[in-house]
Structure 1
Amino acid sequence: MICSPPIVCIPTSNNHAEMSSSPLLAQISRLMNEQIPFHRLIGLEVTRFASDISEVQFTWKPELIGNAPQGILHGGVTATALDMCGGLVAIASVVEGLPHDTPAAEVIQRISRCGTIDLRVDYVRPGRGDTFITTSHIIRSGNKVAVARMELHNQDNMLIAFGTGTYMVG
């Protein structure tokens, strides 16, 4: 098991040669779903995680209201979902670009240094819906920086917001 303070623990294989990026991406997805308190608080759930596209979903609940009279989603929740999803696709592009025999500890160390450099969010419509789906696509992934494009839709495929995120990946 690889752990880094304060709570990040990812079970790993003892045989590094048998590890491929797909099982590792599944482990990272579980980490994002289960071990990040803020993501759990909002209800963010990784539903797709790959280097070409990632997807995060969450369900509307009263605690996420940002405009009480209209009962619409808080803009910070929208930005958080977009940022998380963009960060996921950036991380996936890094992991998938590593040699398959890269030791798990090295992979974890590399992704633990990933972070948001810049986030731009354009709010297109009020955040109304029962379920929200955020998707992200990688625009560019380099040795140090990755850029992602993200969109947030409701269950009726109405575009709520879109964004561009720049992420430190190396």
Structure 2
Amino acid sequence: MHNSPLLPMITQAFDQMPFNRLLGLKVTRFAEEGVEVCFDWSEQLIGNPLQKILHGGVIASVLDVAGGIMAVSSALGRLADVAPAELAERLGKMSTIDIRTDYLRPGRGERFIATARVIRAGNKVAVCRMELHNEQGMHIALGTGTYLVG
């Protein structure tokens, strides 16, 4: 990962997002080869009350957040010399273009770990691959996200 003064800005923006706080998301790894975002089971995240499994929207959202963090980090090298005001504007325009989520198993567990890595980083678009596992390593979902980064 780039040793950039932008990393604290990205971390702060992540922590300030009310939706991320609502889900209880925490970035637990931020490295060049990938990111890791974790959250704990909560009754508020149930999608099926009979089976007590995660809501599919929670799963897709967490994958999108992990992919988005990775996509933004892929653009850091190009943004290192940008003035702070322009940087804030450019970071504000970065967004998800498309996301695909494949649900492999019901979302059961006590703790969940989403990982993401960049498949391709271009000047305008980054493509990431994301996975969600529970604390036992059971593969719950995978996703592919396309992000506007330039």
The aligned counterpart of 1:105 is 85
Amino acid at match of 2:64: D
**Max radius of gyration: which structure?**
1
Asked if residue 154 in structure 1 is aligned to residue 134 in structure 2, the reply is yes
Mapped to 2, the partners of 1:55 and 1:67 lie a distance apart of 26
Contact preservation (8 Å) 1:51, 1:96: no
Structure having greater relative contact order (Cα 8 Å, sep ≥ 6)? 2
Contact preservation (8 Å) 2:38, 2:111: yes
Contact preservation (8 Å) 1:58, 1:131: yes
Mapping of residues 30-109 of structure 1, within 5 Å: 30-33=12-15, 35-98=16-79, 100-109=80-89
The aligned counterpart of 2:145 is 165
TM-score, reference length from structure 2: 0.92
Aligned identity (percent) is 55
The aligned counterpart of 1:22 is 4
- 1:51 Cα deviation from its structure 2 partner: 4.2
Contact preservation (8 Å) 1:50, 1:93: no
Unaligned 5+ runs, structure 1: 1-19
What secondary structure, in the 3-state scheme, does the structure 2 residue paired with 1:22 have? coil
- 1:89 Cα deviation from its structure 2 partner: 0.4
Amino acid at match of 2:140: I
Mapped to 2, the partners of 1:139 and 1:147 lie a distance apart of 5
Unaligned 5+ runs, structure 2: none
CA RMSD of aligned residues (A): 1.5
